């Protein structure tokens, strides 16, 4: 069993992650399907109360709730048989999900071009942003929204309007949004984004960290600013598999110390970056080596950490969610 150890800059305590994962949800052998114990390309993940995971089961058009250590999931949004639709009870390629303190769900329903609010325990949802089934680039429409982030202090949501290459901000109960990042066409310029997928809100700097899949970088866009600053990767869009480069980053999250975790999907790995550092450390997966073993990943799309810094990873093309335990030495 292999381990990685290193030192957080702010503390002398050694931290690391077990590089052999445990399948927390789905089939460990990569089997896909619509049964309650299976997924088809799981995407965004959120941690709920009582040791629960909420997983956007992308190609099954549903959100699954999976209790830690359970052998099956429960469909909490969408149709359990995987059928796509555009009604208040059906979904079409849900990409990511966030929760409020009561486990009410907010999620992007990508191919319905909308954001849905689904109250905890409800049998149907409400479109709170976008127009169901209508793509567009106005301030009240989306084109294939993927990532979503929520400011828990205000209820404001931020949506990666992926195929419009912009981030939209929606205030509580607003009928239209505001472009807060991008919106200047796809490209590597500092006023542009290029297929932004994952994003996270950093309250300490009132900014968004955004994963640009096409330009292979992570950028910081301070709210109110007209351009971004580079955080990780190439400023010109160069891809690579070194410690300083990325290849189609999709998911991104922060820990309480401001360290960054990136689902580097094209490199089949999870990269860890100390706050303020450009050099990453591979903490899950094997760089450039997709596979089904418990130490490998296959195009991971999402990563989150719990309050003990354990990792949960959407191992998307292996149709499973992997758990990598954190340890102190």
Cα 46 from Cα 240, distance rounded (Å): 29
The pLDDT score that the predictor gives to residue 114 is 98
| Whether the predicted pLDDT of 3 surpasses 50 | no
The pLDDT score that the predictor gives to residue 208 is 98
> Nearest Cα to 56, choosing from 137, 121, 148?
148
The pLDDT score that the predictor gives to residue 137 is 98
Residues with Cβ within 8 Å of residue 165, at least 6 apart in sequence: 182, 183, 184, 185, 186, 192, 193, 194, 195, 196
The pLDDT score that the predictor gives to residue 72 is 97
The pLDDT score that the predictor gives to residue 329 is 63
Mean pLDDT of 141-163: 98
Dihedral angle of Cα 39, 45, 46, 52, to the nearest 10 degrees: 30
> Nearest Cα to 306, choosing from 11, 18, 49?
49
| Domain map (residue ranges) of the chain | 15-328
Residues 186-215: tens digit of each pLDDT: 999 999 999 999 999 999 999 999 999 999
Residues 271-300: tens digit of each pLDDT: 999 999 999 999 999 999 999 999 999 999
Calculate what percentage of the chain has a pLDDT beyond 70: 95
Alpha helices (H) along the chain: none
The pLDDT score that the predictor gives to residue 51 is 87
Confidence of residue 14 (pLDDT cuts 50, 70, 90): low
Mean pLDDT of 118-129: 98
SS3 313: strand
| Whether the predicted pLDDT of 9 surpasses 60 | no
Residues 37-71: tens digit of each pLDDT: 999 999 999 999 998 999 999 999 999 999 988 99
Q: Long-range contacts for 75-84 (Cβ within 8 Å, ≥24 apart)?
A: 75/36, 76/105, 76/118, 77/105, 77/107, 77/116, 77/118, 77/125, 80/34, 80/36, 81/34, 82/34, 82/40, 82/57, 84/111
Least confident of 9-13, 150-154, 240-244: 9-13
Residues 60-100: tens digit of each pLDDT: 999 999 998 899 999 999 999 999 999 999 999 999 999 99
The pLDDT score that the predictor gives to residue 205 is 96
Mean pLDDT of 154-172: 98
Tell me the pLDDT of the chain averaged across its residues: 95
Topology of domain 15-328 in CATH is Neuraminidase (2.120.10)
The pLDDT score that the predictor gives to residue 328 is 81
The pLDDT score that the predictor gives to residue 12 is 39
Calculate what percentage of the chain has a pLDDT beyond 90: 94
């Amino acid at each position: 069993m292999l381990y990685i150890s290193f030192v957080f800059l702010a503390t002398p305590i050694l931290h690391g992650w077990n590089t052999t994962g445990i399948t927390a949800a789905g089939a460990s052998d990569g089997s896909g399907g619509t049964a309650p114990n299976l997924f088809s390309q799981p995407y965004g993940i959120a941690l709920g109360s009582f040791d629960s995971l909420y997983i956007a089961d992308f190609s099954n058009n549903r959100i699954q709730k999976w209790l830690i250590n359970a052998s099956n999931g429960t469909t909490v949004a969408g149709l359990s048989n995987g059928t796509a639709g555009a009604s208040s009870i059906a979904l079409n390629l849900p990409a990511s999900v966030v929760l409020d303190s009561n486990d009410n769900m907010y999620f992007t329903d990508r191919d319905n071009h909308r954001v849905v609010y689904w109250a905890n325990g409800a049998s149907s949802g409400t479109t709170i942003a976008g127009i169901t089934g209508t793509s567009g680039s106005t301030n009240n429409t989306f084109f294939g929204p993927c990532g979503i982030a929520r400011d828990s202090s205000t209820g404001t949501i931020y949506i990666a309007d992926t195929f419009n290459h912009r981030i939209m901000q929606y205030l509580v109960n607003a009928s239209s949004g505001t472009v807060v990042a991008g919106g200047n066409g796809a490209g590597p310029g500092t006023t542009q984004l290029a297929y932004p997928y994952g994003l996270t809100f950093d309250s300490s700097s009132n900014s968004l960290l955004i994963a640009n899949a096409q330009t292979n970088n992570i950028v910081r866009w301070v709210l109110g600013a007209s351009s971004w600053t580079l955080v990780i990767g190439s400023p010109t869009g160069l891809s690579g598999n070194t410690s300083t480069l990325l290849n189609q980053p999709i998911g991104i999250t922060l820990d309480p110390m401001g360290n960054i975790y990136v689902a580097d999907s094209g490199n089949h790995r999870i990269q860890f970056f100390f706050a303020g550092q450009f050099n990453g450390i591979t903490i899950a997966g094997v760089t450039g080596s997709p596979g089904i073993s418990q130490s490998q990943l296959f195009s991971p799309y999402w990563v989150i950490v719990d309050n003990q810094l354990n990792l949960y990873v959407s191992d998307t093309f292996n149709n499973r969610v992997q758990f990598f335990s954190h340890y102190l030495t």
